[in-house]
Chain A
Amino acid sequence: MKHLLTTTAFLAFSASAALAQTVGFSQIGSESGWRAAETTLTKQQAEERGIDLKFSDAQQKQENQIAAIRSFIAQGVDAILLAPVVATGWDSVLEEAKEAEIPVVLLDRQVDSDKSLYLTAVGSDLVHEGEVAGKWLVDAVSGEECRVVELQGTTGSSPAIDRKTGFEKGIEGADNVEIVRSQTGDFTRAQGKEVMESFLQAENGGKDICALYAHNDDMAVGAIQAIKEAGLKPGEDILIVSIDAVPDIFQAMAAGEANATVELTPNMAGPAFDALDAYLTDGTEPEKFIQTESKLYTQDDDPAGEYERRKGLGY
């Protein structure tokens, strides 16, 4: 009996390992903490599944990524994960991979190439993230008047545009919730703090502000400091909702200084490996876009525990 179990376990293990033994992963680089966490989680996921992950850091350069993919093809990997640094210029190298019959899965960002050139793309819907944040706020204020200030991401960047659109969609129909001021905080703590200071000055020392919506957690963390220094209580006097779910916002939530965050999960590799497994086992073609969950975390979701779970991921 015991022998049978080990054999099955061994068979199961070797079967899954046989599907995708080596996977090449071309990462953009280490542009942000989120990116570092994505790398850590991809490596973890590969290890759990017994996959030999060949990791290549492109240092924010497309030519490095193309070179990495060519070397993956030459090494004859079973699949390639690609987090593309830009959207254009991938056609020829993706065709080379297709000719070598190596499936390519895009992580987090999209490319402008023909859809037949890659197996699938795993990513988050940025508009949906904003919508989740907006809906949370509408529920939280439950019909009361609410003047919202918004800290936008870098002007013109797609997360800034989409997260703004999504939030506006989320508060649509709720006439009591209104965005009164909106400025860019460049996705940084320092700018988030500076712009929040000016919002507080402009809105009667902050007394006229009911909530803050920040396009990322870092700006929210900066803004929380500005609110505290102005003598108000963040999380109570001014509700705070932001996006990303980085460790530091959970620390703020545990202290009652932030209210909600929408997760942009760095675990893009998990769904990617699942899709690859299904494809390599019986040829199941996945959808061309696999949307990751945009999970909402509030103060009730054990923020202190979430902080502990996340702080080692390299954010």
Chain B
Amino acid sequence: MNALRRVTPQLLTLAALVALVTVFFPDFLRIEVVNGRLVGTTMDILKRGAPVGLLAVGMTLVIATRGIDLSVGTTMAITGAVAAWSITQGYGLGGALGLALLAGVAAGLWNGTLVAIFGIQPIVATLILMTSGRGIAQLVTEGRILTFSHEGMAFFGSGDVLGIPAPALLWVLTAAGVAFLMRGSALGMLIEAVGVNRAASALAGVNATVLLIAVYVASGLCAALAGIVATADIRGADANNAGLWLELDAILAVVIGGNSLMGGRFSIAASLLGALIIQTIDTGILLAGFPSEYNLVIKAGLVLIILVLQSPNLSHHWYALRRAAQSRRETAMASAKETGQ
């Protein structure tokens, strides 16, 4: 119940957006079954939202420790390139997935070590990999789009289970797994403690260094999954463009989810709703058929409105307004009772 109240603003925003897109595109919510698969715009959103959704899971944890991970977009490019390379080299599906996830772990270890052990500011520490990572990915792909035709690998981009797109399932399951791990154990609380005050939590006996490295590794793993989805989707690794600027969308998803960039309390469910909100905007713009020059302006406008409506100062006013309305209603009811007597 408490969790539901936490995500109410995000749910309302998403509902409002869906209503708005439906005005422009009446068939928005229609879902058909074609060749045993669910086909429709909502399915496209769930599928297309997978990379940002996956990145947002890891990003939420990093941001909860008062950090930030700018390298996730490039990590996607690296892991996607590794996956495509190992498939074409004949390492098989297991080998390709394993190597890609390993590359994600390596990226996370690099970031985590710079942040937790050397004490470099997270934004700078992860900027290093953000700028150099595409070069690494290009070294793997030798500067070209590395294509493959492996149905098992392509499944992660365009396959489906019981009619539901595989990428959608992947991000829902990943998010549910991580959320369960965080809230089913004390891990989530410990991460929040480190985010609020690292020194105090270390004094209280939390191994803050290991925990910090672990969240960056988790973020790297999520980026690896996103990279696999992106590569499987186009059956090729595009080192120049895979995950380009997606780190910003992931951060935006976390912020729309109402998580503070100052660390502390976090909600993975809210971040995911943030990712869905962003994808609904993106898909809605494509469906509405505006000239492409307006795409980013419309997106920026909608994001601005959403953030202003959710801003803490305004929410205080909402609360005051509701209280005032409530007390007015109570007085009116009381006076009505009095006159009735």
Residues of A within 8 A of B (CB): 30-33, 36, 152, 155-156, 181-184, 186, 188-191, 193-195, 197-199, 201-202, 205, 218, 221-222, 225, 229-231, 248, 314-315
Counting CB contacts under 8 A, is B295 at the interface? Answer: yes
Pairwise interchain contact B292-A183, C-beta atoms closer than 8 A: yes
- Closest A residue to B154 by beta carbon equals A225
Contact B144 A198 (CB under 8 A): no
- Residue B158 at the chain A interface, CB threshold 8 Å: yes
Contact of A189 with B236 in the complex, beta carbons under 8 Å: yes
Indicate if the CB atoms of A248 and B286 lie closer than 8 Å. Answer: no
**CB proximity of A169 to chain B, nearest CB, Å:** 19
Q: Could you say which residues of chain B place their CB within 8 Å of the CB of A222?
A: 234
Tell me the total A-B contact number using a CB cutoff of 8 A.
80
**Given known A194-B48, A198-B44, A231-B35, contact A248–B145 (CB-CB < 8 A):** yes
Whether A248 lies near B147 (C-beta < 8 A) is yes
Report chain A residues within 8 Å CB of B235.
Answer: 225
5 A-B Cβ contacts within 8 A? A30-B138, A33-B143, A188-B238, A198-B287, A229-B158
Q: Please name all residues of chain A whose beta carbon is closer than 8 Å to the beta carbon of B41 when the two chains form the complex.
A: 198, 201
Chain B residues with a Cβ closer than 8 Å to the other chain, count:
33
Residue of B nearest to A229 (CB): B158
Q: Which residues of B contact A155 (CB under 8 A)?
A: 292-293, 295
Asked if residues A230 and B241 are in contact (CB atoms below 8 Å), the reply is no
Residues of A within 8 Å of B238, CB to CB, are 188-190, 218
- Please determine whether B144 and A36 come into contact, CB atoms closer than 8 angstroms: yes
A183-B286 Cα distance, complex, nearest whole Å: 7
B292 touches A197 (CB 8 A): no
Docked Cα-Cα span, A183 to B291, in Å, equals 7
Instruction: Compute how far the CA of A30 lies from the CA of B137 in the bound complex, rounded to whole angstroms.
Output: 13
Pick the contact of A189: B34, B145, B289 (CB < 8 A). Answer: B145
B286 touches A315 (CB 8 A): no
Contact A190 to B147, CB < 8 A, known contacts A155-B295, A201-B41, A230-B34 = no
Which of A183, A201, A221, A315: most chain B CB closer than 10 A? Answer: A201
B25 at the A interface (CB under 8 A): yes
CB neighbors of A among B1-39 (8 A)? 25, 27, 32, 34-35, 39
**Structural contact, A202 and B25, CB atoms closer than 8 A:** yes
A163 to chain B, nearest CB (A): 14
Measured between beta carbons, the chain A residues less than 8 angstroms from B88 are none
User: A29: nearest residue on chain B (CB-CB)?
Assistant: B143
Q: Report which B residues bind A (CB closer than 8 A).
A: 25, 27, 32, 34-35, 39-41, 44, 48, 138, 143-145, 147, 158, 230, 233-236, 238, 240-242, 283, 286-287, 289, 291-293, 295
Taking a contact as CB atoms closer than 8 A, the residue among A181, A184, A189, A190 that contacts B295 in the complex is A184
A193 and B143 contact, CB distance less than 8 A? no
Min CB gap A164→B, angstroms:
10
Known: A32-B240, A189-B241, A314-B144. 4 other contacts (CB 8 A): A33-B145, A36-B144, A197-B48, A222-B234
Q: What CA separation (Å) do A189 and B236 show in the bound complex?
A: 9
Q: How far is the CA of A127 from the CA of B302 in the complex (A)?
A: 35
What is the distance, in angstroms, from A81's C-beta to the closest C-beta of chain B? 20
The complex places the Cα of A189 from the Cα of B233 at a distance, in Å, of 9
A190 engages B233 (CB within 8 Å): yes
Contacts of B286 in A (CB 8 A): 183, 194-195, 198-199
User: B258 → chain A, closest Cβ, in Å?
Assistant: 27
Q: How far is the CA of A189 from the CA of B144 in the complex (A)?
A: 13
Contact among A193, A201, A231 with B233 in the assembled complex (CB-CB below 8 Å): A193
A23→B166 CA distance, assembly (Å): 53
- The docked-state distance in angstroms from the alpha carbon of A16 to that of B224 is 54
Q: Which residues of A contact B241 (CB under 8 A)?
A: 186, 188-191
A230 touches B39 (CB 8 A): yes
Q: Which residues of B contact A314 (CB under 8 A)?
A: 143-144
CB-CB under 8 A from A31, the residues of chain B are 240
- Report Cα–Cα, A53/B286, bound state, in Å: 47
Scoring A184, A189, A230 by chain B CB atoms within 10 A of each residue's CB, the highest score goes to: A189
Docked complex Cα distance between A230 and B43 (Å): 12
